[in-house]
Amino acid sequence: MSPTIELCKQLIERQSVTPNDAGCFPLILDRLENFDITVTRLDCEDVENILITIGDEGPLLIFLGHTDVVPTGPESEWRYPPFEPTEEGDLLFGRGTADMKGSIAAFITATERFLASKPMMKARFGILLTSDEEGAADYGIRYVAPELQRRGIDIDYCLVGEPSSTNKLGDVIKNGRRGSLGATLKVIGKQGHVAYPQLADNPIHKAMQALSDLVATEWDQGNDFFPPTSFQISNINSGTGATNVIPGDMEVVCNFRYSTETTAEELKARVEAVLTRAELNYDITWKLNGEPFLTAEGELVEACVQSVEEITGRSPNLSTSGGTSDGRFIAPLGAQVVELGPLNATIHQVNENVSMSDLNQLSEVYEAIIRRLMT
């Protein structure tokens, strides 16, 4: 068994359902204790955060990851127990294999090989891990990023180990992400009997046209790096459950995934203008989950592309598609940020799995990236 697969299995055995690290950090520290490392704990509330750095001067490359995983769902639906890593051919099954304990294992073993070669380093690198990415994510990297800035720790390059690949390892590198802006809209009416609508005010009826207008709006046309901004309604709740009662209010939960062609403030203003024109009595609460970011070019993108080509023989596509990642908190610090990891086909699913040969190759890719930037 390769060191990468062995470590990945050990991490999977730790039932680190968010926000619980479940002993993953001590395991990782034990692997690196023979090297000259600096360990900084950045815990907050019930969340564990750790920064491990190597080297004293020069630009700083950080591998960013999370040890927490999403809940398993009904374990009876799994082919194998989700916290008992199981091999089936080239596949390794278990919760977190792809998202993202496999990437963490690959980076740790890449680090071990690189440091064992006693290189002459011109820069610094390290590992930043949190146990709070899959959950509320309030006390993980969202908290850590400004704390690093306050302490004068500047990150130049950030390699996020999220599963970015689509069909083959390294076929996609995420060099940016769309912004995410959420809203909870409450439309206020007046409850009443359906037989006497003149004595009530139905918030569903009043809001329908405004919601339709929002769905039909073209927010922007995107650009060379981002698709057009999208607006989606994810939840609508109203009513008492009775068929003869006009509801007194309605709650609508919605989300924007937006490009760099617009801003969160512009989106808020445009939405509220539509609601005001519709003469709705409403209250809206906004939550900015992350601004869009883009690393269009630079040393990090170049190192990642060249390393994937060297190890896998394929040329990756640069993409900003998909959801959000913790990279959204690091990019505003001025760092170049990319995401590169295994296939994302089974993440958050029953029977999550990863190719073991992919993980071994990913470790080689990570080592090549480190060498390109560090020596």
| SS3 at position 110 | helix
- Catalytic residue (choose from 13, 48, 68, 132): 68
pLDDT at 297: 87
Q: What is the mean pLDDT of each run of 10 residues along the chain (375 residues)?
A: 96 98 97 94 96 94 98 96 98 98 98 95 96 94 96 97 97 96 98 98 97 98 95 97 97 97 97 98 96 93 98 96 90 96 97 98 98 96
**pTM to 2 decimal places:** 0.89
Residue 175 and residue 260: Cα distance in Å, rounded? 14
Please tell me whether 299 is known to bind a ligand.
Answer: no
CATH homologous superfamily of domain 3-177+292-374? Zn peptidases (3.40.630.10)
Q: Is CATH 3.90.550.10 what the domain over 179-290 is classified as, yes or no? A: no
pLDDT at 50: 98
Task: State how beta strands 157-160 and 192-193 pair.
Answer: unpaired
Q: Which of 370, 308, 288, 304 is nearest to 337 (CA)?
A: 304
Q: Which of 255, 126, 246, 91 is nearest to 183 (CA)?
A: 255
68 noted as active-site residue = yes
Q: Which of 169, 145, 132 is nearest to 327 (CA)?
A: 145
DSSP state of 82: T
- Residues 10 and 31 sit within 8 Å (Cβ to Cβ): no
309 noted as active-site residue = no
Q: Where are the domains of the chain?
A: 3-177+292-374, 179-290
pLDDT at 323: 82
Please tell me whether 205 is known to bind a ligand.
Answer: no
Residue 229 and residue 215: Cα distance in Å, rounded? 12
pLDDT at 73: 94
- Catalytic residue (choose from 133, 291, 326, 352): 133
